[in-house]
Amino acid sequence: MTPDVASNARKSMPSLHRASEPDVLKPLLERAALTPESRERTLGHAAGLLADLRAAQGKGWVNQFLQEYRLNSSEGVALLSLAEAFLRVPDPETADLLIADKLGDADWRAHTGKSNSTLVNSATWGLVVGRALVGEGEKPSSLRRLISRAGEPFVRQAVGAAMRMMGEIFVMGRTIDEAMKRMRKPEHKGFTASFDMLGEAARTEADAARYFRAYTDAVAAVGRDAAAGHSISVKLSALHPRYEVARWDECVPALTEMLEALAVQAAGLGIALTVDAEESERLEMSLDIIGTVAGLPSLKGWDGFGMAVQAYGKRARPVVAWAGELGRTMNVRLVKGAYWDSEIKRTQVEGLADYPLFTRKAATDVSYLAVARDMLDAPAIRPAFASHNALTVATIMEWAGNSRDFEFQRLHGMGDGLYERLVRENGYHCRVYAPVGGHRDLLAYLVRRLLENGANSSFVHQLADERLTEAEILADPVAKIAAVGGARHPSIPLPVDLFGAERRNSAGLDLADRAVLEATVKSVSFSGEGRSPGPQAMSPATLLPGLRRGAEEAIGRAALAFPAWSATPVEHRAACLDRLADLLEAHRDELMAICVQEAFKTIPDALGEVREAVDFCRYYAQQARDGLQPVELPGPTGERNVLRFDGRGVWATIAPWNFPLAIFLGQTVAALVAGNAVLAKPAPQTPMIAARAVELAHEAGVPRDALVLLPGGPEVGAALTADPRIAGVAFTGSTATARKIARSLLEDDSRPIVPLIAETGGINAMIVDSTALPEQVVADVITSAFRSAGQRCSALRLLLLQEEIAEATIEMLKGAMDTLRLGDPADPATDVGPVIDQAAYDRLMAYRAGAKIEKTLDAPADGLFVPPTLIRIDRIDALTQEWFGPILHVATWPAGKLADTIRAVNAKGYGLTMGLHSRIARAAEETEALAAVGNLYVNRSMIGAVVGSQPFGGEGLSGTGPKAGGPHYLHRFVVERAVSVDTTSAGGNATLLSLDEGLTTI
């Protein structure tokens, strides 16, 4: 390791985090490369290891099970999907539906009798039996008739046996004592273990306390037999329910204290303790915690402290260098990475500059080798190399020479055959990473990791693919990456290019980067006597001079401007929107500050507001270019038919306060790009952000009279909608106000019939069955119901839990609610800010006073804070209207009654959003077929629709359509005019006359 790499380790991490892949890989390629002589020796070692691995595939029921049901086969994926959910389903009815869903489409019979293991063949017959009984659309077979007599309980038993076998494969033991006993079996002779009381990240304080007790008990148990050499692995996110950068000042000290307690306990017993790796956004926090504990005087002389480093991260090399600078011997476990899918998606969703990890599997292998070489050279690091890759292992052996002062590691249930000979004959040390815990929870967690990270390019998959040659399996990753110049994978575009050539994605901010977050806080925060100098000057009196002119005058100005703007080419109008998008991004901090201070938005919500406005501008610009050009239509020869799209005239866009920039601009720019003049009326609570947006639109090239801001209250809106010169209205708000607007547009019989685009609210329900993962449900419920203080049209209002899981889910939900923080929206630690005004506060608090509250929180004494509230209701019908705030109602539904439950929600007449949490694909299909809603969300939160990806808008009492951010929205703003010209009337069809076949002799 070079001195400059070590001395600048922590300083170099921020620049590497989002650096381009080729730039990061260039020094790694040099470090990972083998000389030709070394490469030849390494391939020889690797070939021998490969032979050992393949020989092991036929030995032991664990290997044979994995070989029979490869993770990249349809049966393997079906089995993993079943295992992820089956053991947590308490009721037989849903269990049967899950079995039918997962087993119904796979060919289990093809696997019967194929394995040398009686156990594997028995499990396979259980799956065949299950498939025969639940298979749909099949002719009745003798087997099906036979087992039908036993019924579903027999099938559940058979499938349960297969699931328990999978638990044995991936989980070392249900308790630490059981796991330690299993490690004493002959197949583990010579190996040690790193036990991890693994599970989901903590969602509640109770979860965190339970995991901490499990770790302390595990340390004590392993310490009773310290001579065995086993160790403990700790996952920090299991010890705190809010392990996130926004809560740095809270969670880092608390986790440091807990890790210190575990380390002191382990040191006293003479065993080792390793901190597991987490997602990349937690890296800096983890390093602070680990660095503090590593420097404690009480741990001086103990060489058992360690950490895991993920090689797929671009910062892996400086992290290892940093670990070598801590002034003590550190155990460092190098792994390839565990959260690849989620890291890629998060980066894309948040519109960040680049990925924090490598996008090619071979690039991760290069990084792993380069970092491994650094670790072998570092005097203060005791290396541990976790890998199932024969080439990786052989390369490390080549670099280490005769040294055995390091260890290999492998996952329990995988990699059998790779290390046995190395350990028992060649003196190498290998540790088994051994998850410990109940199969019901732990198997689900481990299976999801396999499903998320089981890339076809992985060594484990390649080994099982009989079509691949030894040379292909042992191909040099350095050569692979060098051949493509270190370029990012072509199928994984940068977030800015997510939507291809059509439009640029809006740029986000990495709020999980502490430096970025702190800078953002400064730009949006109040100062002095409660307001920063910028927004202090932004009172209506100073910011909106001359804008409170009468509606009649404003309509007149817009009407005069309409013809010229409508005649402006579509390309020019679209270019104005693109320039506006760029200006919004250039003024992002300013706009976020106004959103925080005027609309009480939290920092993430303010950022989302600006990004959505940018996306609307670029999306509608692209839609106009593609969809509003004249269309040549077919017809008979000698006739020209054209369909044109022209602006309707003057539109009134009436925006809400809950999205005072995104919806305000979305409605407005759609009308503008379609060729209309616009009178834009913001909500009376949020005029300042609207005024700034209009100012930027004018700067982008929209004529001042083609876009006129008209602030004011209901009286201004009423004056607009009543004026016969208004050619259309786009409105977002309450259903009651939408009805009033609709009536006003029809009151004058002499007035033209004009379109109304209305987006209103809804009694939005999330339905949860017993196959759903409780931790995921609770996280999505918290986000959907309480983010933005519940003040979103799409927010969750009604949680419908299957009866069998209701109490446990509600208990976890209440614990998660306890972790929410109410306060100043400019504080990054705030989850729930105040509601918009006194009227909203009074209405919500009065409703709460008469409700059966299941759970609520304390609220700050000063301010319009409505505390997040959970209200129990007896039946779906008990909720009769939308309550626009952080109030969530919960009811139950019986197993097997999904269709009836959906129909009961539909009967309310609203139709905006609905959520479903289920692992049963057919449940999702049934919900999609029956739900009368504009937006259905499956196994995710119900808010945050992305422009162009999730067009947003409801039906029934929830809106008129078309959906905002969708491909049909712009056409509602135009008139369609067809022009037909008889070209023969001018003396003939020149096109026809030019064809020899059409000529006749005179």
Instruction: Give the pLDDT confidence of 386-445 residue by residue, as tens digits.
Output: 998 999 999 999 999 999 999 999 988 777 889 999 999 999 999 999 999 987 778 777
pLDDT band at 128 (very low <50, low <70, confident <90, very high): low
pLDDT band at 140 (very low <50, low <70, confident <90, very high): very low
DSSP-assigned beta bridge partners for residue 435: 196
Q: Convert 145-161 into a string of H (helix), E (strand) and C (coil).
A: HHHHCCCHHHHHHHHHH
Structure tokens at 290: 């680990």
CA distance 577 to 592: 20
C-alpha 926 chain-centroid distance: 24
Closest CA to 79 of 96, 66, 88, 91: 66
Average pLDDT over every residue of 527-550: 43
pLDDT band at 120 (very low <50, low <70, confident <90, very high): low
Q: What is the pLDDT of residue 159?
A: 77
- Radius of gyration of the CA atoms of the chain, in A: 32
Q: What is the pLDDT of residue 626?
A: 96
pTM for this prediction: 0.92
Residue 667, pLDDT above cutoff 70? yes
Structure tokens at 364: 């991760």
Residue 212 phi, psi (nearest 5): -65, -45
pLDDT band at 537 (very low <50, low <70, confident <90, very high): very low
- Report, as residue numbers or ranges, the catalytic residues: 759, 793
Better-scored residue on pLDDT, 859 or 140: 859
Omega before residue 495 within 30° of 0, cis: no
Contact 99, 81 (CB under 8 A): no
CA distance 847 to 853: 11
Residue 23, pLDDT above cutoff 70? yes
When mean pLDDT is compared across 165-169, 264-268, 346-350, 703-707, the lowest value belongs to 165-169
Residue 213, pLDDT above cutoff 50? yes
pLDDT band at 539 (very low <50, low <70, confident <90, very high): very low
Q: What is the pLDDT of residue 542?
A: 46
Q: What is the pLDDT of residue 535?
A: 38
588-644 pLDDT, tens digit each: 999 999 999 999 999 999 999 999 999 999 999 999 999 999 999 999 988 999 999
pLDDT band at 99 (very low <50, low <70, confident <90, very high): confident
When mean pLDDT is compared across 47-61, 673-687, 908-922, 959-973, the lowest value belongs to 47-61
Contact 153, 200 (CB under 8 A): no
Residue 708 phi, psi (nearest 5): -120, 125
Q: Convert 296-339 into a string of H (helix), E (strand) and C (coil).
A: CHHHCCCCCEEEEEECCECCHHHHHHHHCCCCCCEEEEEECCCC
What percentage of residues in the chain have a pLDDT greater than 70?
86
Q: What is the pLDDT of residue 465?
A: 64
- Rounded to 5°, angle at Cα 9 from 5 and 14: 125
Residue 142, pLDDT above cutoff 60? no
Average pLDDT over every residue of 839-861: 96
Judged by DSSP in three states, 969 sits in: coil
806-839 pLDDT, tens digit each: 999 999 999 999 999 999 999 999 999 999 999 9
CA distance 805 to 803: 6
Q: What is the pLDDT of residue 114?
A: 57
871-881 pLDDT, tens digit each: 999 999 999 99
Better-scored residue on pLDDT, 94 or 542: 94
